[in-house]
Amino acid sequence: MRTEGQVSKSRPFRVHGARDFGAAVKHFRSRAGLTQADLAARAGIHRAYLSELEGGRTTEALERLMTLFRELGVRVTLAPEAW
């Protein structure tokens, strides 16, 4: 697949790390018509933190989750029908 952060309606979107995770969050937030402030308030997090996540910032919690998935052989993908 191309750069993982790019969205394709015909192929699954693979989440391999913080950059891909951030791109997916931003895509679905925008698709839902929410601002960062809206989503942050709903999720109970600070808007600046959401901005950092969408920008691909790696956090310890996200790295731990990705490590768990890798060790378990789990691939995180969002199927085209989710778009």
User: Within a domain: residue 43?
Assistant: yes
The tens place of each residue's pLDDT in the chain, 83 residues long, gives: 233 455 555 667 788 888 989 998 999 999 999 999 999 999 999 999 999 999 999 989 888 988 998 899 888 876 666 55
CB within 8 A of 43, min separation 6: which ones? 50
Q: Tell me if 63 sits within 8 A of 1, measured CB to CB.
A: no
Q: Which residues pair with 77 in a beta bridge?
A: 14
CATH number at residue 25: 1.10.260.40
Cα 68 to Cα 65: distance, rounded to the nearest angstrom: 5
* Owning domain of residue 57: 13-82
| Residue 42 CA to its chain's centroid (Å) | 16
Side chain identity at residue 38, one-letter code: D
User: Within a domain: residue 55?
Assistant: yes
